[in-house]
């Protein structure tokens, strides 16, 4: 594979019909130029505690809500951290009070799965996040 210059990487465009961009061209490029989050696929972000996995997802949500006001997110917050980070989310550009951002804070995995199933019967989402 040929190496790309930084200027080429920064000008990459992502086919938004096939993927959800992270908003970071280099990260999307490393993800095979398809965007970090392929539509219709399950993507697991794994890593050590406090390595910005949630921050990357929240940045992705903020970026996509900014470029598409109709971008819909279902966020299952099993750690109940979102409400505690309202100022941080606002700085990122995530409006947790938007009708396009549905937040559930289940106590158990079973409760979360049931809530997700229920929401999927009611509406379609561009991105579903399960934050555990």
* pTM for this prediction: 0.79
Cβ-count burial 26-43 (b if 16+ within 10 Å, e if not) = eebbebeeebbbeeeeee
User: Contact 28/7 with Cβ under 8 angstroms?
Assistant: no
pLDDT per residue rounded down to tens, the chain (132 residues): 344 343 443 444 444 457 888 888 888 877 765 667 888 888 888 889 888 888 899 999 999 999 999 999 999 999 888 877 888 888 888 988 899 999 999 999 999 999 999 999 998 999 999 998
């Amino acid at each position: 594979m040929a190496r790309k210059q930084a200027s080429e990487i920064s000008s990459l465009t992502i086919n938004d019909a096939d993927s959800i961009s992270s908003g970071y061209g280099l990260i999307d490029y490393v993800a095979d130029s398809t965007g970090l989050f392929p539509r219709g696929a399950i993507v697991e972000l794994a890593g050590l505690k406090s390595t910005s996995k949630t921050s990357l997802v929240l940045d992705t949500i903020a970026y996509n809500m900014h470029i598409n006001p109709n971008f819909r997110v279902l966020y299952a917050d099993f750690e109940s951290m979102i409400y505690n980070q309202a100022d941080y989310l606002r700085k990122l550009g995530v409006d947790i009070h938007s009708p396009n951002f549905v937040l559930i804070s289940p106590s158990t995995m079973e409760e979360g799965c049931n809530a997700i199933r229920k929401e999927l019967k009611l509406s379609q989402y561009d991105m579903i996040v399960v934050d555990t």
